Amino acid sequence: MVIVESPAKAKTVGRFLGKGYIVKASVGHVRDLLRSELSVDVNDNFKPKYRVPNEKRAVVKELKQLAKNAEEVYLATDPDREGEAIAWHLMESVEVEPEQVKRVVFHEITEKAIQEAFSHSRQVDMHLVDAQQARRILDRLVGYSLSPLLWEKVRSRLSAGRVQSVALRLIVERDREIEAFIAEEYWSILAELKPEKEKSTFKAKLVKVNGQDPVLNTEEVVKPILIDLETAVYTISKIKRGERRRKPAAPFITSTLQQEASRRLGFTAKRTMAIAQQLYEGLDVGNGGSTGLITYMRTDSTNISKEAQQEARSYITQNYGNDFLPEKPPVYRTRTIAAQEAHEAIRPTSVSRHPDQLKPYLNSAQFKLYQLIWQRYLASQMEAAVYDTLSIEVSAVSPANEYLLRASGSVVRFPGFLVVYEESQDEDLNPDEEENVRIPASLEEGQQQKLMRLIPEQHFTQPPPRFTDASLVKALEEYGIGRPSTYAAILSTIQDRGYVVREGKRYIPTETGILVNDLLTHYFSEIVNTDFTANMEENLDEVASGEKQWVDVVRNFYQTFEPQLAHAQKEMPETKSELEKVGRACPECGHDLVIRWGRFGKFISCSNFPECRYTEPWLEKIGVHCPSCETGEIVERRTRKGRVFYGCSNYPECQFTSWKKPTPMPCPNCKGTLVIANKREVQCLQCQESFLLEMLEDGSPESA
């Protein structure tokens, strides 16, 4: 008998094992701490109290019955701490003897990998189980202690978590940085120059004035320099030619996959992991059964097996030629603290499965993510790209001053891995536009240049950007907060609790989120901080390796946490937020209507509750009148699955809906309603014309 977590995985594994095996799915955890109480005895070495929840009793009963008739029971749960803990809980719940149980681990669901795993079974690793158990108990101690404080002081249905609270703190503190930011003016000066007997020009940037860095902070400072530069003599003083090699990015780990899928595909971390799970567990790709398409997607290791590397090298030679194959297989350093090197990076189970071959069998999202993983992996095994670089220094001498200007450029000499894939740039980086200018090939040192024009440009320093999925995951990884399996859950939780909202791709804290953060950071500053959380992750890693006992780790934490909790319970001021008034009277009793929070978010109710039980839905208006009935306003709504759409406030009398967000700008052609088509374009609902958003915002719709 073989037990895995999901039915899809069971189907794929069962196909490869064949007759003589029964493969069943536990559908995740089968045992957990009781929901109705703390379920951790702080006076008895933090002994946990587990139970099989009602919804899993039928599953456990079936597994017990099947296990009685099985010669051996293989636990084939996922190859991480969570999977190890599920295996242990299964062993305990199904009540099989330890000597009857065998643990098998595979990082890809292919026939070869499964046969290999079953021939090298082992016992359940209790060090890994203890590490996961310690994490679960720590989270329960924090959550079940702090959440009641938030219910009392803020509002019901809130929660606090050991890791989610640190992520919320990062977002709130970034928002405050933005609010406190004061923009500073600065200028740059470009000179457009033309060599003698040349038609083409190039631009060089002013970098020195009389050997010093110029401070160009006002127009008054810039004007005399421009006047002086008009009279200067421009000469090429130095030409430096060189070569730059650009290595490919490492194959994906969990965090980099989530970041790149966010930047390139617009996927949330949660969606990325859900799709990756489907690709890992197996899909029917036309060979008569399910096939695992990628390796395990929760990993922090960049390792690649020798067999996979050899397959990739053969594929590169056959399809791109020997020039694109590095002399030795590349080795990538894992940046993540305490990475589990026994794992592999995320890669296709076979590089010969080209994305185009699988496209007919995958939905759009599956294809996009598989293609991204395939391209990144293949590129990581290819030769570096080679650039010819050129750096120019131009001296500009006037009667009064000597100036230095620079221009640099590069040209791809050999594309290498770029023929397959190029990593997208970080959304929060502002590339220097003058970094890669076109430079005429005929330039020579000592050659005089003709000044065509001077280009002064005013700039203002920008505040730090709000976090996106990509940048927040990157920050969590860099601080050592959480582990690969937790990133998506962290981001989902702080949204589900109403602590943050996503506008576009950016996270913005809500009033509730700010209040919760301020309470937690004031009373639990030693716990809700990045250093403490990262140190706790290191302690859990040491439990996983057998260097520490899980009870000692939990006890040390609780000795810090308990006095802070007692102090907060005693001293926390009356900070309960007043219910926000809507500005209308209850139509049934005349009392003020107020905004409350329920299981599904905001709603409006009577302030005289429970005597008056009048309620109405909360409508999030976006400042646009309905184009259909013209009397209603467009409001943001959500489907049962949480997808945002836009409809009329007069529903059901008016049936207008749109998946795309309407804007208050009228169509330049027909004055109809424009909706946001993508981050650069808007489209008219009436005449279907499209326009560049930046043109409309600049007031020049005709330019679009």
CA distance 347 to 361: 19
Q: Are strands 73-75 and 101-103 parallel, antiparallel or unpaired?
A: parallel
CA distance 640 to 287: 36
> Would you tell me which CATH number, out of the four given (1.10.290.10, 3.10.580.10, 3.30.1600.10, 3.20.20.100), belongs to the domain 254-380?
1.10.290.10
Catalytic residue numbers, as ranges: 296
- Residue 427 binned pLDDT confidence (cut-offs 50, 70, 90): low
- Residue 600 binned pLDDT confidence (cut-offs 50, 70, 90): low
- pLDDT for res 608: 87
In sequence order, the 6+-apart residues with CB closer than 8 A to the CB of 604 are 582, 593, 594, 595, 596, 615, 616, 617, 618
- pLDDT for res 667: 85
In sequence order, the 6+-apart residues with CB closer than 8 A to the CB of 561 are 141, 142, 145, 524, 527
Instruction: Kindly report, residue by residue over 499-534, the tens digit of the pLDDT.
Output: 998 887 899 998 889 989 999 999 998 889 999 999
Which residues, listed in sequence order, are joined to residue 683 by a DSSP beta bridge? 675, 690
In sequence order, the 6+-apart residues with CB closer than 8 A to the CB of 177 are 463, 464
Q: How far is CA 225 from CA 214, 398, 448, 669, in A?
A: 10, 10, 20, 46
Look at residue 369 and tell me whether its pLDDT is greater than 90.
Answer: yes
Before 248, cis peptide (omega within 30)? Answer: no
Secondary structure (3-state) at 690: strand
- The H or E element containing residue 664 is strand 662-666
CA distance 635 to 626: 9
Range with the poorest average pLDDT among 185-189, 326-330, 366-370, 687-691: 687-691
CA dihedral 647, 649, 651, 655 (to 10 degrees): -40
CA distance 207 to 395: 10
- pLDDT for res 694: 57
- pLDDT for res 693: 65
Average pLDDT over residues 622-641: 81
Percent of the chain predicted with pLDDT > 90: 64
The residue among 119 and 340 whose pLDDT is bigger is 119
Fold of the domain spanning 2-124: Rossmann fold (3.40.50)
**Domains 185-247+385-460 and 254-380 alike in fold:** no
Look at residue 587 and tell me whether its pLDDT is greater than 80.
Answer: yes
SS (H, E, C) 554-607: HHHHHHHHHHHHHHHHHHCCCCCCCCCEEEEECCCCCCEEEEEEECCEEEEEEC
CA distance 559 to 566: 12
DSSP string, 474-500: HHHHHHT-S-TTTHHHHHHHHHHTTSE
Q: Of 686, 689, 690, which is closest to residue 673 (Cα–Cα)?
A: 686
Instruction: Kindly report, residue by residue over 59-115, the tens digit of the pLDDT.
Output: 999 999 999 999 999 999 999 999 999 999 999 999 988 888 999 999 999 999 999
CB 171 within 8 A of CB 445: no
Secondary structure (3-state) at 703: helix
620-625 β-sheet, strand order: 620-625, 633-638, 644-648, 657-658
- pLDDT for res 351: 97
Range with the poorest average pLDDT among 157-161, 170-174, 690-694: 690-694
Look at residue 466 and tell me whether its pLDDT is greater than 80.
Answer: yes
The angle subtended at Cα 658 by Cα 654 and Cα 661, nearest 5°, is: 120
pTM (two decimals): 0.81
Domain residue ranges of the chain, discontinuous segments joined by + = 2-124, 155-180+465-571, 185-247+385-460, 254-380
Q: Which two tokens stand for residue 687?
A: 């005449």
- pLDDT for res 598: 62
Which position has the token pair 């001077």? 454
Type of residue numbered 251: P
> Would you tell me which CATH number, out of the four given (2.70.20.10, 2.40.10.10, 3.40.50.150, 2.30.30.240), belongs to the domain 185-247+385-460?
2.70.20.10
CB 257 within 8 A of CB 346: yes
SS (H, E, C) 110-140: CHHHHHHHHCCCECCCHHHHHHHHHHHHHHH
- Residue 703 binned pLDDT confidence (cut-offs 50, 70, 90): very low
Q: Of 162, 154, 224, which is closest to residue 189 (Cα–Cα)?
A: 224
Average pLDDT over residues 246-274: 94
Q: Which two tokens stand for residue 48?
A: 């946990």
Measured from the Cβ of residue 391, the count of other Cβ atoms closer than 10 Å reads 15
Q: Of 400, 69, 391, 10, which is closest to residue 237 (Cα–Cα)?
A: 391
Q: How far is CA 501 from CA 168, 573, 644, 659, 675, in A?
A: 11, 27, 12, 18, 21
- pLDDT for res 433: 46
- pLDDT for res 683: 86
- Residue 687 binned pLDDT confidence (cut-offs 50, 70, 90): confident
- Residue 597 binned pLDDT confidence (cut-offs 50, 70, 90): low
- pLDDT for res 577: 56
Entry field: residues in the chain: 704
Type of residue numbered 519: L
pLDDT, averaged across the chain: 89
- pLDDT for res 435: 52
Q: How far is CA 367 from CA 231, 268, 363, 389, 634, in A?
A: 59, 16, 6, 37, 34
Look at residue 439 and tell me whether its pLDDT is greater than 80.
Answer: no
CA distance 98 to 30: 18
Instruction: Kindly report, residue by residue over 298-321, the tens digit of the pLDDT.
Output: 998 999 999 999 999 999 999 999
- pLDDT for res 599: 55
- Residue 434 binned pLDDT confidence (cut-offs 50, 70, 90): very low
The angle subtended at Cα 183 by Cα 182 and Cα 187, nearest 5°, is: 155
Q: How far is CA 434 from CA 192, 200, 203, 219, 481, in A?
A: 12, 17, 8, 21, 37
- pLDDT for res 352: 96
Instruction: Kindly report, residue by residue over 197-238, the tens digit of the pLDDT.
Output: 788 899 999 999 999 999 999 999 999 999 999 999 999 999
Superfamily for the 155-180+465-571 domain: Topoisomerase I, domain 2 (1.10.460.10)
Q: Identify each DSSP E strand in 366-447 by its residue range.
A: 385-397, 402-414
Range with the poorest average pLDDT among 129-143, 305-319, 539-553, 605-619: 605-619
